[in-house]
Structure 1
Amino acid sequence: MVNVEFFNYIECIFMRIKKPHLRPIVITLSVGGILLTSIFLIVVIMVFKRENIEKDLLDANSSYAMKMSDVMSNYIEIAQRELAYGAKKIESTNDIDSLKNEADRLRLQSGMFNSVLVVSDGAVVLATSPESLGLVGVHLNSSASKLAIEAKKPFISAPYKSASGNLIIFLSHPIYDKNSNYIGYVGGSIYLKEQSLFSDVLSRHFFKSDTEISIVSDDGNVIFNNDNSAVGRPMVMDDNLKSKLTSSERGEGIFFSSGNKYLLGYAHMKNTAWSVLVYSHADSVTTILITYAKSVLVLLIVIVITFSLFSYFIASRISIPLEKLAISTNAKDIGGSLVDIKGINAWYVEADRLKKALFTHIKIMIERVDSLNEVALKDPLTGVNNRLGFSNKIQNHKQGSGASVIAIDVDFFKKINDNFGHGVGDEVLVTLAQVINCGFPGLGRFPQSRGQPERKPE
């Protein structure tokens, strides 16, 4: 019982709710469908576009890293050739001034080195450029010097702090005398935290402004970075990326540092164990995506508005015939509604079928109503108005217009029925009605009241 009352209550609520019209529903569905589809497509396009932008950035960073590694490898190779040429000139002289002049030439000629040293096989500094280093006669105990003397071949050191307190990398070339005896080496240092070969080349790259370049040694320490505080420190990256750096000549990847995501491209330098890293902040993808969205936003809005207006027009065209048919069914003038229905442009099949069905139904209904009116308002025997028909005519008669009343009584009608039967009596009434209708066409609507005559009192 409770459930029935509850459902009745819900039904009453829905009955009170004002029902929407067809046209707003169709327009809302069509235009809303376009808008939702457009939003969905925009989201999908942006997702794929973001992936493409990210991939393009990774490819670009990898390609640029490869280019810069080639450039830096060429510079290192040139620097090593200059040291080799200087070592060839030094091998035949022991004059300190000549050694100093050669050191100055190596430092100043191409600007490859920040400082140049000539060192004996006992690790004692024989000449320096510039002289302000104050290292002449000093015994070098650095690991780079020891390795250069032990290797007795061209050598490139890992980053270390020099005797003068500068963070440097050191390139050296052995010096042999005419008898091929090892007598020391000539070396050039590149400062990592001051203006140098690396800063001149890498700090003035013409790549994206939000892109950074680093050179990392084989042990993961930063050799060069625009941020001097990062130089000499280990590069923060996960083990997977470190493995990729050591196992492939070039590639790309993603790493996180200080909570930020970076898109990385890397490439190895040919004549060292170093890698050039080019990486962009992942936020640059969003920046590019926003720029792209702004560039297509106007066109997208025009397309959406155009299709929305087109959908509005089509939806209106679809709903108008149905609206007119619905309005016609509520018309008080049923005869007028037939005219209205006939004039409706039902331009598609379903509306046309509904129009024809409604037209036929109303026409049949009118015919049935007329037929029932005939039965209710007219005498079935004579076809003239009965008392109800007479009352209806009187009520519909215009006020102020004239009217006449004629009363006709058939004398001795009972005798006709008694002597000749009721069938003959009916024929008399029918004939009388026909005579009146033919003789007085204007009285064709006269009513008839049939009944037994009153008996005279005896």
Structure 2
Amino acid sequence: MPALDLRRLILLLTVAAALITFANSFQASYRTQRDLLMQQTLQANLTYATRQAYSTDNFLRSTQDQLAYSARLLADRLDQPAYLQGEVTRLKEQSNSFNSVFIIDARSQVLATAPSTLGLTGKTLTSIGAKALRDARKAMISDPYVGSTGNLLVVIGAPIFASDGRYLGHIAGSIYLQQKNMLASLLGSGYGSDGSYLYVVDRQGKLIYHPDASRVGEQVLGNSAVRAVVAGAEGSQRLINLKGVDMLAGYSPLKTTGWGIVAQTPTAVPLGALNGLMLQTLTYTVPLLLLTLLAVWWLSRRIAQPLWHLANIVKHWSAPHALEQLGEVRARYFEAEQLKQSIIEGLMLIQQQLGKLSRESLTDPLTGLDNRRGLRLALEQLQARQRPFSVITLDIDHFKQVNDQYGHDLGDQVLLHLAAQMRACTRSDDLICRSGGEEFVILLPDMDLDSASALGERLRERMANSPSPVGDPVTISLGVAYASAGKHNQTQVLKLADQALYQAKQQGRNRLVAAQLAEFF
């Protein structure tokens, strides 16, 4: 399997880190928001159930107070049928609190009833509610039961006592749990728009109010919230109801009757809102994530590019211009620059070692100076290191005449004489090359144009003022040029020095011309 390059590795690592971080953040945000929404929904349902329990308690107390007031008025008028009928009709129609109102005597015989269409006047009631009223002989609210009319109902009654304390009967109102009345309106108001609803259970866990009237009377103790509220607890919980629906329920008991009110919302409701919110978050986040990944791709390319160039050059380190190419690599950051310099030093060391093995290929056999190949290698090293340098090109004036007049042997002696003078005028780090015949090049690392010109002038004067092997002084002409770090390549600088040398020849020889870059380019 081929190894990944650094750019792809950086990109892959960053993308993986970004996606993992994004996924974790998104999941953590989702869970946090989900728990918060569920907790808010549970709290809202508990608050609503508590408020409805309070309102229902007040309603039941109010009905008991109405009946108790009427009971006090009826003690001396039980023998007045018209008055009794008027009172039950008033209670029935005054507030819609009751579905029916009736007055019974101590033997449970009906003295008056509203609505009169029930046809119960004069009859003796044997229902569970009537028996409970007669046995209790006090104010009470019955447990739900099926009355003689076939309705599931509860009876709220107030006892009627004579002035001497004798029990005379009850005035009572019935609330039909499966029909419209004030209690149903109270319990059913303000809930259900988002799937939430409220229901009421009696002390035995039987539904006495539900938005689905067909379920009234159903036993629901299998519901954990119902068991809790029937036991008198107030609170909230997440549960699966008897229909298998995930619900968030709040519950509160009634103080007057022991009934329990449960308000609940399908868990899917807040989660559905959360899903929409998270989807909207994604629409805002994903473009930013893509822009981030694009920026990472660009940065990874910038980071990897110098290393890729360095690796490619090292792969072809034996190429003629490897060091020159290394010098042109833009490192951009500290580690790449250090690596670049280390590679340069390493390649130079290798080339120096190889140079020792093939020194003859770099050295002029007559003078012992470097030849053109040595010159090229030295120039590449200077450019790779981005070191400034000056270059002096020179040749012997009228050297052909020396050879013709004195012979080639003395001509060679003149070349050796010039080599000795050049060594005497230069530093140990300077490079002297015989580039051909009587032509020479001197490389002066880290030396500016003025210093190089002064050195060249000293060399010219030594040659002009000292006897040569032929007896008479031999003169030279010189051209000097300067290369600043990283701005000029070797070909450009050598050409510049050659043009300066040409000017020195044109101006009469035995002179030095220092070139300025603008004069020639």
Aligned with 1:373 (options 333, 337, 358): 358
Would you say the 8 A contact 1:255–1:262 is kept in 2? yes
Name the aligned partner's letter for residue 147 of structure 1.
Answer: A
Cα offset, 1:261, TM superposition: 2.0
What is the aligned partner in structure 2 of residue 59 from structure 1?
A: 43
Q: Of residues 241, 249, 260 in structure 2, which corresponds to 1:264?
A: 249
- Look up the match of 2:517: none
Distance, in Å, in 1 between the alignment partners of 2:279 and 2:362 is 78
Map 1:118-129; keep pairs closer than 5 Å: 118-129=103-114
How many residues of Structure 1 are paired with residues of Structure 2 in the alignment?
A: 385
Query: Residues 302 and 384 from structure 1, CA distance in 2 versus in 1: closer, same or farther, beyond 3 angstroms?
Result: closer
Cα distance in 2 for residues equivalent to 1:83 and 1:299: 63
Q: Which has the higher contact order (CA 8 A, sep 6+)?
A: 1
Match of 2:165 in 1: 180
- 1:99 alignment partner in structure 2: 84
Q: For residue 280 of structure 1, give the secondary structure of its aligned residue in structure 2.
A: strand
Tell me the equivalent position of 2:142: 157
Aligned-partner residue type, residue 21 of structure 1:
D
Measure how far apart 1:432 and its partner are.
8.8
Q: Is 2:226–2:260's contact at 8 Å kept on the other side of the alignment?
A: no
CA distance in 2, matches of 1:200, 1:22: 73
Give the 3 Å change call, closer, same or farther, for CA 435–34 of structure 1 in structure 2: same
Worse-matched range after superposition: 106-115 or 80-89: 80-89
Report the more deviating stretch, 44-53 or 350-359. Answer: 44-53
Query: CA separation of 1:339/1:207 partners in 2, compared to 1, >3 Å: closer, same or farther?
Result: farther
2:18 match: 34
Q: By how many angstroms is 1:108 displaced?
A: 0.8
Matched with 2:383 is: none
Question: What amino acid is aligned across from residue 28 of structure 1 in structure 2?
Answer: L
Conserved? CA contact 1:384–1:444, under 8 Å: no
- Aligned partner of 1:337 in structure 2 is 322
2:275 aligned with 1:290 = yes
Distance 2:282 2:252 in 1: 38
> Helix, strand or coil for the counterpart of 1:233?
coil
Q: Percent identity?
A: 26
Alpha carbons 1:237, 1:255 under 8 Å: kept: no
| Map of 1:392 onto structure 2 | none
The whole-number CA distance in structure 2 between the counterparts of 1:344 and 1:136 is 113
User: Where does 1:378-417 land on structure 2 (aligned, <5 Å)?
Assistant: none
Task: Indicate the larger mover: 148-157 or 254-263.
Answer: 254-263
- For the residues of structure 2 that align with 1:169 and 1:346, how far apart are their CA atoms? 91
Post-superposition Cα deviations, 1:86-139, rounded to whole Å, max 9, x if no partner, equal 212222212112111111100111111111111111111111111111211222
Aligned-partner Cα distance in 2 for 1:106–1:381: 140
Q: Find the aligned partners of 1:303 and 1:124 in 2 and give their Cα distance.
A: 82
Q: Distance in 2 between matches of 1:290 and 1:230?
A: 32
Residues 276-285 or 199-208, more deviating: 199-208
Task: Please state how far the C-alpha of 1:49 moved relative to its aligned partner.
Answer: 2.3
Cα 1:119–1:432 shift into 2, 3 Å: farther
2: distance between equivalents of 1:227 and 1:125?
Answer: 33
The question of 1:46 aligning with 2:56 is answered no
| Cα shift at 1:376 | 5.7
Deviation at 1:296, TM superposition (A): 2.2
CA shift in 2, pair 1:148/1:347, >3 Å = same
State the Cα distance separating 1:155 from its structure 2 match. 0.8
> In structure 2, do the counterparts of structure 1 residues 236 and 289 end up closer, same or farther at CA, with 3 Å as the change threshold?
farther
Relative distance call for 1:21 and 1:311 in structure 2 (3 A) is same
The answer on whether the counterparts of 2:230 and 2:259 sit within 8 Å (CA) in structure 1 is no
Equivalent residue for 1:244? Answer: 228
158-167 vs 253-262, which deviates more?
253-262
For 1:197, the aligned partner's letter is M
Stretch deviating more after TM superposition (81-90 or 334-343): 334-343
- Please say which of residues 48-57 and 304-313 is displaced more in the overlay: 304-313
1:83–1:186 contact (8 Å) kept in structure 2? yes
Q: 2:170 aligned with 1:170, yes or no? A: no
Q: Is the 8 A contact 1:120 1:185 kept in 2?
A: yes
2:340 is the counterpart of 1:359 = no
Q: TM-score, normalised by structure 2?
A: 0.67
Q: Give 2:304's match in structure 1, choosing from 319, 327, 335.
A: 319
1:74-113 alignment, distance < 5 Å: 74-93=58-77, 94-113=79-98
Verify the 8 A CA contact 2:194 2:269 in the aligned structure 1. no
1:161-191: CA deviations, max 9, x gaps? 1111111111111111233321111111111
- 1:316 to 1:217, Cα distance in 2 relative to 1, 3 A: same
Letter in 2 for 1:34: A
In 2, the alpha carbon distance for the partners of 1:31 and 1:172 equals 75
Whether the 8 Å contact between 2:99 and 2:181 is mirrored in structure 1 is yes
Instruction: State the partner residue of 2:259.
Output: 274
Q: Any idea what SS the aligned residue of 2:120 has? A: coil
**8 Å CA contact retained: 1:253, 1:264:** yes
Alpha carbons 2:153, 2:174 under 8 Å: kept: yes
Deviations 1:196-253 (A, max 9, x none): 1232112221465211101111110011000112111112435x64553244441112
Q: Which amino acid aligns with 1:267?
A: S
Equivalent residue letter for 1:309: L
- Please tell me whether the aligned partners of residues 210 and 281 of structure 1 are also in contact (alpha carbons under 8 angstroms): yes
CA contact (8 A) 1:334 1:366 kept: no
Counterpart-to-counterpart distance in 1, 2:203 and 2:113: 29
- Helix, strand or coil for the counterpart of 1:88? helix
| Alpha-carbon distance, 1:382 to partner | 8.2
Distance in 1 (alpha carbons) for counterparts of 2:135 and 2:413:
151
Assess if the C-alpha contact under 8 Å between 1:436 and 1:443 holds in 2.
no
Say what the alpha-carbon RMSD is for the aligned residues.
3.0
Give 2:213's match in structure 1, choosing from 228, 238, 246. Answer: 228
TM-score (norm 1): 0.76
- Report if the CA contact (8 A) 1:125-1:137 is conserved: yes
Verify: 1:24 aligned to 2:8, yes or no: yes
Is the contact made by 1:170 and 1:189 (CA closer than 8 Å) also made in structure 2?
yes
Deviation at 1:69, TM superposition (A): 0.6
Q: Taking structure 1 as reference, are residues 299 and 85 closer, same or farther at Cα in structure 2, changes over 3 Å only? A: same
**Which residue does 2:189 correspond to in 1?**
204
C-alpha distance in 1, partners of 2:369/2:17? 64
In structure 1, what residue type is equivalent to 2:82? D
State whether residues 101 and 115 of structure 2, in contact with CA within 8 Å, keep that contact through their aligned partners in structure 1. yes
CA contact (8 A) 2:153 2:177 kept: yes
